[in-house]
Structures are given as C-alpha cells and as structure tokens.
C-alpha cells in the first residue's frame, strides 16, 4: 500500500478526512467503484462491526451473487438521461 501526503490546499479531501475521523466513509466513484476511507487506528474495529452487521452482510452476499453488470451508457439510457 502506498502513502500519499495530503496538502492543506486540498480542501475537499481535507473535509473528507475530517468526516472519516468521526466514522469511516464509503466513497463511490462516478463509475460506481467503492472505496473505504477510515482512520487506521479504527480500521480493525470497523471491520469487526461491519462483519456483525447482519443486514449489510446479507446485502453484500446478494450483490456478490449478481452476474449482470451495466455500462454507464446503459444506465443513462435506462434512466432516460442519454
């Protein structure tokens, strides 16, 4: 894993880091990829709590079984945004 130093001039990223201090965040890219932003000291505890969340585990199991994916163009067309 690579460490990146965040500049104080990166206001949006600094704001996200402050939010992550209060509790982990899931960041979703425009393409739908998801990333976790959590303070390292809290990360093991966050994993433990996440694994105990039965509703979340059920949702993740269901999502993991899905085989159909959609391109961004297909989603825009389906939503009438194309």
Residue 66 lies in a domain: yes
pLDDT of residue 31: 92
- In 3-state terms the chain splits into helix, strand, coil percentages (rounded to 5) of 55, 10, 35
Residue 73 lies in a domain: yes
pLDDT of residue 47: 84
Give CA–CA dist 81/74, Å, rounded: 10
Q: With a cut of 70, say whether residue 76 has pLDDT above it.
A: yes
Residue 2 lies in a domain: no
Model confidence pLDDT, tens digit, residues 14-68: 999 999 888 889 999 999 999 999 887 767 877 888 888 999 999 999 989 989 8
25 within 8 A of 37, measured Cβ to Cβ: yes
Which domain covers residue 30, as residue numbers? 11-78
Whole-structure pTM value: 0.46
Confidence of residue 1 (pLDDT cuts 50, 70, 90): low
Residue 59 lies in a domain: yes
pLDDT of residue 74: 93
In sequence order, the β-bridge partners of residue 26 are 36
State the total domains in the chain. 1
């Amino acid at each position: 894993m690579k460490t990146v130093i965040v500049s104080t001039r990166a206001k949006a990223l600094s704001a996200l880091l402050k939010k992550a201090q209060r509790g982990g965040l899931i960041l979703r890219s425009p393409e739908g990829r998801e990333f976790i932003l959590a303070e390292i000291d809290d990360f093991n505890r966050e994993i433990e709590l996440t694994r105990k969340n039965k509703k979340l585990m059920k949702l993740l199991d269901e999502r993991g079984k899905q085989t159909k994916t959609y391109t961004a163009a297909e989603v825009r067309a389906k939503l009438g945004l194309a």
